[in-house]
């Protein structure tokens, strides 16, 4: 397809052809090595918008790990809400998948000298996110032990990131656990949101197929939480970048 002519390469596609600005800039932005707006129209390819490419990464973490837990359907609903919200690249993270033992690293987590594969896997997951939502129950007026254990495993990976809480429980909706969790979050240099989703009498919000059935106020609270989380995610990302440079 290509022929060499002296030092230049000629062929059907010229490697030295200047790319018109109109092909690079538009509602479908094309980077230098991706098709531009007109190329997209010709080929039918769909390029993500700039907003989508720049969207902060949100990890929605299921904090309960026990058999029979009801956290996953609530977390799945919130994940769908975050996708519809459209300002985050949202991922659903199940703490149970990491199978973290009671904290067993010999060195302080701030040093990041991790000895165990399960720690490195968890640290990589936390480091990949720009913001977090903790979907948490309340155990004896406090957070579930697996969550506190997971928070303790790493340190710098949490720093300068915002976090929101979706709590569930009985008549209190898990708010006592949420308040206690915020003490640990701030110690890890995270910024906990005031806005929250509180699911009271959680068992009454499930249908016969164990699907979570949110009320209108759960959805409106969730949108407010995501809006605020997005503001902080953008601001704190700048702080993290300045910390890495400094």
For 98-151, the pLDDT digits (tens) are 999 999 999 999 999 999 999 999 999 999 999 999 999 999 999 999 999 999
Q: Is 202 exposed, middle or buried (0-12, 13-18, 19+ CB in 10 A)?
A: buried
Q: Which residues of the chain have pLDDT under 70?
A: 1-53, 244-246
Confidence at residue 15, expressed as pLDDT on a 0 to 100 scale: 42
How far is CA 110 from each of CA 106, 168, 189, rounded to the nearest angstrom? 12, 31, 12
Global confidence as pTM: 0.79
Q: Are 72 and 61 in contact (CB under 8 A)?
A: no
Confidence at residue 226, expressed as pLDDT on a 0 to 100 scale: 98
Cα 183 to chain centroid distance, Å, stands at 21
Confidence at residue 234, expressed as pLDDT on a 0 to 100 scale: 95
Confidence at residue 37, expressed as pLDDT on a 0 to 100 scale: 44
CA atoms within 13 A on the CB side of 8: 8
DSSP per position, 4-47: EETTEEEESS-TTPPPPHHHHSSSS---TTS--HHHHHHH---P
Q: Are 177 and 146 in contact (CB under 8 A)?
A: no
Confidence at residue 210, expressed as pLDDT on a 0 to 100 scale: 93
Q: Are 225 and 231 in contact (CB under 8 A)?
A: no
Question: Domains (ranges, CATH) in the chain?
Answer: 25-54 (no CATH), 55-245 (3.40.50.360)
Report the SS3 class of residue 88: coil
Rounded CA gap, 214 and 236, in Å? 30
Rounded CA gap, 148 and 151, in Å? 5
């Amino acid at each position: 397809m290509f022929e060499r002519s002296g030092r230049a390469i000629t062929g059907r596609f010229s490697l030295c052809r200047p790319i018109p600005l109109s092909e690079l800039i538009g509602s479908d932005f094309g980077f230098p090595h991706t098709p531009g707006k007109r190329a997209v129209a010709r080929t039918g390819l769909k390029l993500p918008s700039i907003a989508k490419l720049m969207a902060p990464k949100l990890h929605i973490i299921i904090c309960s790990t026990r058999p029979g837990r009801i956290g996953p359907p609530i977390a799945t609903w919130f994940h769908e809400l975050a996708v519809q919200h459209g300002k985050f690249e949202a991922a659903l993270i199940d703490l149970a998948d990491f199978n973290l033992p009671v904290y067993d690293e010999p060195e302080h987590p701030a040093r990041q000298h991790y000895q165990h594969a399960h720690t490195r896997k968890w640290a990589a997951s936390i480091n990949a996110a720009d913001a977090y939502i903790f979907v948490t129950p309340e155990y004896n007026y406090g957070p579930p032990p697996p969550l506190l254990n997971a928070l303790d495993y790493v340190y710098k990976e949490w720093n300068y990131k915002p976090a929101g809480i979706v709590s569930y429980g009985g008549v209190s909706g898990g708010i006592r656990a949420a308040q206690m969790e915020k003490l640990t979050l701030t110690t890890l240099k995270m910024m906990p949101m005031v806005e929250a989703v509180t699911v009271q009498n959680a068992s009454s919000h499930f249908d016969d197929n164990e699907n979570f059935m949110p009320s209108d106020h759960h959805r409106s609270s969730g949108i407010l939480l995501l809006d605020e989380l997005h503001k902080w995610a953008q601001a704190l990302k700048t702080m993290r970048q300045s910390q890495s440079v400094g």
